[in-house]
Chain A
Amino acid sequence: MRQLSEKQFEMWVSAPRVAGKAKAGQFVILRTTEFGERIPLTIVQTDPEEGLVEIIFQVIGKSTAELATFKEGDSLHDFVGPLGMPANVKKYGTVLLVGGGVGIAALYPIIKELKKAGNRVLTILGAKTKELVILEEECRKYSDELIIMTDDGSLGEKGLVTNAMEKVFAREKIDMAWAIGPSIMMKFATMTAEKSGVPVYVSLNPIMIDGTGMCGGCRVTVGDAIKFACVDGPEFLGSEVNWDEFLLRSKQYGHEEAESFEAYQKEMADLG
């Protein structure tokens, strides 16, 4: 367990079966305690020999806050995976990878595999401030070029990832792109790529419960079809995603999430 920034944490979990099977783009579902909910988190990397799986998460509500209290030697109640389809990695030529915030953790394994597959890899990382740019060195290692964008200009250039994308598209031909980050960023990255006629994969992060295709809570409209992100994705072509529906569905438990988080924070405060 390592703290990456005020709210971002890195954790290595011992799960030999998951470590032995995981591929870039897949995720796990975990439960902190017997009262916990099932939450999906991307697999950042694995150490199959040691049977370890790395996850990175940002504290945004009760479950992630609780996860951040775990210490070395503690056990998660449940940890299942790898789930979802692996990223569509092959040799495309020149690829552009765009990551935002904690989404960089999900982008990194794809960068690595695309480089290994012989692509020329251009990477754009974006975050609000310098402190929130995670895995910079790791991404740089597998990228032919790395551009950093921050909202406040505290690291790299000031501006949005889409500004950087436009510059890259203006300057050279990109064969395939990926954008992983907050939903709204993925939507605008898709629009930017579409303008230049570049296909872009996104990794969707809808609400999930089981993560194995048995409830449809994570359904998204892709093209004209209903797809379950947990088994058909999480990777889809951004141009086919119904973004407006996706964004509205992501917010459907906002009220309950806040209620749960407040109750947890009060409980923690009472415990001193």
Chain B
Amino acid sequence: MAKRSYTKTYMPEQAPETRMHNFEEVALGYDLESGKLEASRCLQCKNAPCIDACPVMIDIPGFIKAIEDGDMPKAYEIIARYSNLPAICGRVCPQEKQCEMVCRLGRNKRFEPVAIGKLERLVADWALEQPIEEKSTAFDKGKVAVIGSGPSGLTAAGDLAKLGYDVTVYEALHAPGGVLTYGIPEFRLPKKVVRKEIAIIEALGVKIETNVVVGKTITMDEIQQNFDACYIAVGAGAPNFMGIPGTGLNGVYSSSEYLTRINLMHGYEFPKYDTPVHQSKNVVVIGGGNVAMDAARSARRMGADKVTIVYRRSEEELPAREEEYHHSLEEKIDYSWLSNPTEYLGNDKGELVGVKCIKMALGEPDDSGRRRPVPIPDSEFIIEADMVIEAIGQGANKVLLDTFPELAINKWGYIDADEESCATSVPGIFAGGDIVTGAATVILAMGAGKLAAKEIDMYVTNKK
């Protein structure tokens, strides 16, 4: 066998100068040859640590071996046993903090870990090209309602259907997918991938009903009467605002609104699509997570001259994925480190003209172990801006919770559910994903969905 290369096999990308002006996918994916080459870097460990580091515990050496052998059907069959959304996870998982972080090859000096995410994507994309097989399962084990069609709800629904349950997913928006559809932009996660992956779940017999707001269109009472069990996976979709002076000015957005207009409503294709998005020259994005990266890179593609990310800590603490941060630098996104906005400045028409910020210094570590930013007195400065996007996190949406007072809520406003079983204070009602943990990752939400499916199966089986 040829000597293993130190670095991951190269995956082609759209050049920054080109992709800055379009919403097409940045990373273009491996072909089979480069996939086989990368697969041959895997050490095929016996007690592979990568498996334990994957929230849904995919048999990683197993599917990589199949790629190396050129057996794509087998590679897909192995992944599909564990994951219902591999084309999505291969693209958006923070692998550097999960499977790839513990890869034994990567632990060796000078070696990069195996590109597990890129290989998963290769297999999943191959599967999306295959005709979808309609499964004709007899659903004789019971009826389960899933509320929310994000990654957690879809995973639970897929697993429950495989187990023989008649599953109905209720979605408030007009399109399923949750954050995969309205949040993560096309250039990172093409919507045709999301649609196809959801179609595969529907082919298992899962029914998805859109335009249903549980708590409004139908009540939790009705769900409890009509189903044997219910999985609540409504996410953490309510945007937080800093609440500083000027938040009501025109040009001030939550990242949720900005990204929903662009992704769900196709605002970047206005006026072919009816929903407008402002064209701005100087955009400031507040925050340092993946959502901030997505918002900033979207604003760049909408034609902004200058996009600045304002982050209150330093480069070292940036929570965004490394890959996304590098992409943002290549796309000429500017950073104002150790800065925090204190006021939005407007003109007499109520339009934003600038963001007043203050410089920060890092103090003692806080509960999260990161050094706490503290403002430096008299260090205010102004960034000229006609749009500001706050990407400072989301909280629990109260629409469902307010109509279901029996359900216990924790002190952060999320559902109080058992980590080991997804069980809530109400028998038969399970919950998982961001509505339990607060905003986290796609793969953690999927992990919760898998767990919930197993626990719901046990609950319904024991009840009968």
Contacts and interface: CB of A to CB of B under 8 A. Distances in A.
Interface of A: 17-18, 21, 31, 35-38, 62-63, 77-83, 209-210, 212-217, 219-221, 226, 231, 242, 244-245, 248-249, 251-253, 256-257, 259-260, 263
B217 A18 contact: yes
A82 B274 contact: no
Given A80-B174, A248-B250, A217 B217 contact: no
Given A213-B398, A215-B260, A263 B217 contact: no
Contacts of A21: 216-219
Interface stretch (B112-120, B192-200, B224-232, B241-249): B241-249
A46 to B, nearest CB: 13
A252 B239 CA distance: 20
Nearest to B209: A17
Contacts of A83: 213, 216
B265 to A, nearest CB: 6
Contacts of B248: 219-221, 226, 242, 245, 249
A219 B241 contact: yes
Contacts of A252: 250-251, 278
Nearest to A217: B257
B270 A214 contact: no
Nearest to B218: A17
Contacts of A220: 248
A231 B265 contact: no
A251 B256 CA distance: 21
A248 B260 contact: no
Contact of A78 (B211, B237, B271, B273): B211
Interface of B: 172-174, 210-213, 216-219, 237-239, 241, 243, 247-248, 250-251, 253-254, 256-257, 260-261, 265-266, 270-276, 278, 349-350, 397-399
Contacts of A209: 257, 260-261, 265, 275
Contacts of A257: 276
B226 to A, nearest CB: 13
28 contacts: A17-B217, A17-B218, A35-B266, A35-B273, A35-B274, A79-B211, A80-B174, A80-B212, A81-B217, A209-B261, A209-B265, A209-B275, A210-B260, A214-B237, A214-B239, A214-B397, A215-B257, A216-B239, A219-B241, A219-B248, A226-B248, A248-B349, A249-B250, A253-B276, A256-B271, A257-B276, A260-B270, A263-B271
A248 B350 contact: yes
B341 to A, nearest CB: 16
A78 B247 CA distance: 31
Query: Mostly helix, strand, loop or mixed at chain A's interface?
Result: mixed
Given A213-B399, A259-B271, A80 B213 contact: yes
B217 A78 contact: no
Given A80-B172, A83-B213, A248-B349, 16 more contacts: A21-B216, A21-B218, A35-B274, A38-B174, A77-B174, A80-B211, A80-B217, A82-B216, A209-B261, A212-B173, A212-B397, A214-B239, A215-B239, A215-B254, A216-B239, A231-B399
Contacts of B260: 209-210, 214-215
A159 B247 CA distance: 37
B213 to A, nearest CB: 6
Contacts, number: 118
A260 to B, nearest CB: 5
A62 B254 CA distance: 26
B241 A216 contact: yes
A78 B174 contact: yes
Nearest to A247: B350
The 4 closest A-B pairs by CB, nearest first: A248-B350, A256-B276, A37-B274, A215-B257
Contact of B274 (A18, A62, A214, A219): A62
Contacts of B399: 212-213, 231
B15 to A, nearest CB: 31
Contacts of B272: 35
Given A17-B218, A219-B241, A37 B211 contact: no
Nearest to B390: A216
A77 B210 CA distance: 11
Nearest to B217: A17
A75 to B, nearest CB: 13
Contacts of B174: 31, 38, 77-78, 80
B238 A260 contact: no
Contact of A231 (B247, B250, B254, B398): B398
A210 B210 CA distance: 13
B255 to A, nearest CB: 9
A38 B173 CA distance: 10
B403 to A, nearest CB: 11
Contacts of A244: 350
Residue with the highest number of chain B CB atoms closer than 10 Å, among A213, A221, A242: A213
Nearest to A244: B350
Nearest to A36: B274
Contacts of A242: 248
A259 B277 CA distance: 12
Nearest to B240: A216
A83 B173 CA distance: 12
A245 B249 CA distance: 7
A245 B246 CA distance: 10
A36 B271 CA distance: 10
Nearest to B254: A216
Contacts of A18: 217
Contact of A260 (B173, B237, B274): B274
Nearest to A256: B276
Contact of A37 (B239, B241, B254, B265): B265
B104 to A, nearest CB: 42
Contact of A17 (B210, B212, B251, B276): B212
Contacts of A226: 241, 243, 247-248
A165 B172 CA distance: 40
Contacts of A253: 276, 278
Contacts of B237: 213-214
A18 B211 CA distance: 10
Nearest to B256: A215
